[in-house]
């Protein structure tokens, strides 16, 4: 799998050599959060990481798992601070939509995370639920990718 767009951004499966670079562009891991670094390592071990690269190297990553009621779930989508607002997140979502192996594809984000909500809405994902209690005072908003959009992504990538 290798998706590339006209801007030279390429999305493909991450390999172990990408681990350190992704831990550095992940704002939480880079700030010293050992639990996040361990999560990134575990995602690599399970082979569920997609990485977005440009000419400078990795600029973002996403994690697609099947542990949410056995449906596809975007556990993480992270774009390096210097690469935001350049279509990296949208390209990662398109790659996830095309590779998801289940009938439904979900993700979630905190209500306070307006950039992620805007990305999902621009990508036509729709809000499907709200969960209180994960992060005190900041509920989790769940989104679903339209199934017809996923078929289109698969047809395009083909």
Total tally of structural domains belonging to the chain? 1
Long-range pairs, 79-88, Cβ under 8 A, ≥24: 79/25, 79/52, 80/25, 81/25, 81/27, 83/25, 83/52, 83/54, 83/59, 84/115, 86/7, 86/9, 86/59, 87/5, 87/7, 87/9, 88/9, 88/52, 88/59, 88/60
Find the CATH number of the domain harbouring 130.
3.40.630.30
> What's the pTM?
0.86
What pLDDT tens digit does each residue of the chain (158 aa) get?
Answer: 555 554 688 999 998 888 889 999 999 999 999 999 999 999 999 999 999 999 989 999 999 999 999 999 999 999 998 999 989 999 999 999 999 999 999 999 999 999 999 999 999 999 999 999 999 999 999 999 988 766 544 444 44
User: 124 is in which domain, residue-wise?
Assistant: 2-157
């Amino acid at each position: 799998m290798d998706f590339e767009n006209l801007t030279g951004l390429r999305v493909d499966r991450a390999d172990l050599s990408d681990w350190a670079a992704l831990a550095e562009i992940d704002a939480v891991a880079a700030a010293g959060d050992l639990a996040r670094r361990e999560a990134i390592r575990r995602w690599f071990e399970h082979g569920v990481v997609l990485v977005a690269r440009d000419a400078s190297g990795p600029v973002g990553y996403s994690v697609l798992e099947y542990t949410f009621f056995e449906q596809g779930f975007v556990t993480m989508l992270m774009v390096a601070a210097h690469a935001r607002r350049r279509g990296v997140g949208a390209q990662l979502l398109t790659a996830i939509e095309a590779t998801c192996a289940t009938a439904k594809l979900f993700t979630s984000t905190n209500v306070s995370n307006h950039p992620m909500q805007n990305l999902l809405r621009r990508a036509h994902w729709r809000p499907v639920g709200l969960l209180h209690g994960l992060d005190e005072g900041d509920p989790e908003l769940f989104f679903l990718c339209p199934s017809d959009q996923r078929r289109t992504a698969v047809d395009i990538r083909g």
